[in-house]
Amino acid sequence: MGEAADGAGAAPDLADPALYINRELSWLEFNRRVLALASDPEVPLLERLRFLCICSGNLDEFFEIRVAGLKQQAAHDAVQPGPDGLTPQEQLARIAERAHALVDEQYRVLNESLLPALAAEGIRFLRRDQWNPRQAAWIRRHFLRQVLPVLTPIGLDPAHPFPRVLNKGLHFIVSVEGEDAFGRRAGIAVVQAPRSLPRLIQLPAGVAEAPYDFVFLSSVIHAHVDELFPGMEVTGCYQFRVTRNSELFVDEEEVDNLLRALAGELPSRQYGDAVRLEVADNCPPAMARFLLRQFALGPDDLYRVNGPVNLNRLVTLPDLVDRPDLKYPPFTPGVPEALAGDGDPFEAIRRGDILLHHPYESFAPVQELVRRAAADPDVLAIKQTLYRTGEDSAIVEALLEAARAGKEVAVVVELRARFDEEANIDLATRLQEAGAHVVYGVVGYKTHAKMLLIVRREGRAVRRYAHLGTGNYHARTARAYTDFGLLTADPAVTDDVQRIFQQLTGLGRAVRLRKLLQAPFTLHGAILGHIRREAEHARAGRPARIVAKMNALVEPQVIRALYEASQAGVEIDLIVRGICCLRPGVAGVSERIRVRSVLGRFLEHHRVFYFENGGDPALYLSSADWMDRNFFRRVETCFPVEDEALRRRVWEEGLAVYLRDNTQAWELLPDGSYRRLRPGRQRPRAAQVLLLERLARPTPRSQGSRARRVVRGA
C-alpha cells in the first residue's frame, strides 16, 4: 500500500492513489459476484441460469459505455489519472486481463455446471452431432420454412464491401470455395441472423427425446449454411458478435428540441465504434485477425468463447420451461394495514406517513393513489417525475386520464434514461398529445429524483400529498428491485417537493428547502457535513456511527471524509451493492470501516443513510448514490424519515438485517477483492429471505405457475 498507508510515521496522505480502488475494476468484481450466484447450488437451477444471463448482459453494457469511454480517452491520448492513479490506457490493459478471465469463467460455469444440471432435469441443448435422424429432418424443415427466407448472405467483393454489422447482433463469417454464377471467387461472406428470429428453438413433442429439448439458432444456421451458397463448397462457418459504443451524444446547448435531437441519434447506437469482438473458439486465427481489422480492434479486444456468443439469449429459457420447482417460489407482496381494503388513500396519508418497502410490499398503492387522483374531482393538479416506467404503465394511463379530464398535469420525463430513450420519447409524445405539460428536465442534468405531488381541494383549504421514493415508477422493477417509498402529507415536505417541481418546469434561483436535500445544490455538502459531524462527536466522546446503504460509492471527497471519520474513531458500516472505490481495513486510515455487498433474488436498490449524531439519530432515504454524477450532474432528492416508528422500520429492514446477513453477503477486503460470508456454525441469515417472510405472503407454487402461463398466453 506504500508508506502513506502503512500506519507508521507521518499521518497518512489521504490523497494517496493506493487508497482508492479503480471504479472499472471494482465493477468487474461486482459482476464476478453476480456470476458466483450462477454457481451457487442453493439458488434454484433456472434462477442460476438467469444470473449467468445477467452477468453477460451487464458485461455487454460495461463494454458499450465504460470501455467505450476509456477507448475514446485513450484515442485522444488522455493521460489524466483518476483518484486511483490509473490512466485510461492502464485501465484498459487491466480491464482486458480481468474481463477475459471473467468471460472464460462464464463459459466454464455454463458448460461444466449449468448445462449438465439442466440436462439431468430433462432440459437439453442439443448440439449438431447429437441430432438423431428424426430431429435433423425436423430442424431442416424448420430452417427451410422459417429461417432461410429471412437470411441475406453478403459475399465480399469490390461491389460488396464488408457490411455494417449491428451492435451485439448474431453474425457468421463464412469461407467458401468455387465460382458463383457470375464467375466470382470472393471466398468470404457474412450472414446476419435477423433479430426477429428466436435464438432458442424448442423441438416439438414427438421429435424431442426429453421434456424440453432445444437447439440454438446458431446451430441451425451453421448446419445448413451451404443452402445459402448453392454450387459452392462451404469450408468454414464461425459465429461472431461485435459490441459497439452505445453512448448517445447530443450537445444540449446547441439543440432547440432535445426530444427531436435524441430521436435522431438513436439509430446511430447500432453502429458506433466497435469496442469488443466475440468469436467462436473454433474460429481460425487468420479469420479472427481479418475480423479484427474490419472493426479496427486489437488482440486484447478479441474474446474467444466456448458456446453461443451471446449468453444473454438464454434469458428466455425460464419462461419456456414450466418447472416451478426450479425457480424461486412465488409470493404475494404485502400491503400496509393503513392502505388495505377500499378505503380513501388520502385520508390514510393524512393520518400519518406511510412507508412502502418493495418488492416485499406492493407497488399497487402508489398506482392506486395516482388512479384515484386522476378520477377525483377535488384533485386540481398532479405533478410527477418519470425516469423509467415500462410498457402498459398504470401510472402513465392515469396521468393521461387526468390530463384528458382537464386536470393540471405536469410531468418531467427524463429522455436520457440510458437504453430507455426511445420508450421515453414515445411516453412524452403521448402525454403532450393528451394535454399534459411535459418538460425534459434541465439542460446538463438528468432528472433522477423520484417524486409525485398531488394537489387536492379539501373544503376551503388546498392540501398537498407526496410520494418520494428510492426507485422508479416502474411496476415490473418494483417486483424485482428493493426500494423504499414514503407517502406523506407533511406540509414542509410537500412544499419542498413543489419547489423542486417549480425549478424543473420553470425558471428561478435555487431556494432553500425546509427538509429535503437536493442535488446538485445541497446534497453533497450535507452528506459531507453529516460525516464530519460524526467525526466531531467521536472526538468528543459522544456516540458516533455511520451506516449507509447504496448501489455505488465513488465520489472521492466523500471517501476522504469517511477515512477522516474512521481516523477520528467513528464506526462505519457500508452496504454497497456494486462499485466501491473506498478501500476498507487499512491501518491508520480505514480500520473502522467495513464494507459488504449483498446480492440475491432481488436487486438491492434502495439508498439509506444513517448518522448516530451523538444520540440524536438522523436517517435519510434517497434516489442518489454517492457518485460524482449523482451529486453534481443529476437532480436528486434525499429526504428524512422523521416518524419514530417508520424510522425504526427503515433501520431494521434497510440496514440492520443486511448487517446480520451471513449467507448472501460478500465482505470487501483491503486488496479490493471480496470474500463471501458463510454462516458456519451460526444460524443462516439471509436478509431478503427474512424480509419476504416478514412482509410478504407466500403463493402456492401451482398458483404461481398458472399465473405465469396466463400472462404468457395473453
Contact (CB, 8 A) for 431 and 400: yes
Catalytic residue chosen out of the listed positions 142, 448, 474, 537: 448
> Minimal CA–CA distance to 387: which of 354, 421, 359?
421
Query: Is 605 part of any known ligand binding site?
Result: yes
A 10 A CB-CB count for 506 gives 8
Residue 164 vs residues 20, 192, 295, 369: alpha-carbon distances, Å: 41, 10, 10, 48
What SS3 string covers 81-137? Answer: CCCCCCCHHHHHHHHHHHHHHHHHHHHHHHHHHHHHHHHHCCEEECCHHHCCHHHHH
The three-class DSSP label of residue 388 is coil
448 is catalytic: yes
Residues written for the chain: 714
Query: Is 596 part of any known ligand binding site?
Result: no
Contact (CB, 8 A) for 562 and 630: no
Residue 402 to residue 337: CA distance in whole angstroms = 28
Query: Is 31 part of any known ligand binding site?
Result: no
Residue 685 to residue 46: CA distance in whole angstroms = 23
A 10 A CB-CB count for 248 gives 18
Paired with 447 in beta bridges are 635
Q: Is the dihedral of CA 698, 703, 704, 707 positive or negative?
A: negative
> For residue 357, what is its C-alpha cell?
418497502
Contact (CB, 8 A) for 696 and 362: no
Contact (CB, 8 A) for 450 and 468: yes
> For residue 168, what is its C-alpha cell?
451485439
> Minimal CA–CA distance to 517: which of 596, 386, 619, 649?
619
Query: Is 648 part of any known ligand binding site?
Result: no
Contact (CB, 8 A) for 679 and 663: yes
Burial (Cβ within 10 Å: 0-12, 13-18, ≥19) of residue 460: exposed
Query: Is 418 part of any known ligand binding site?
Result: yes
Paired with 214 in beta bridges are 125, 202
Maximum Cα–Cα distance across the chain: 90
Query: Is 592 part of any known ligand binding site?
Result: no
Q: Which residues are catalytic?
A: 448
Annotated binding site for ATP: 58, 481, 577, 605
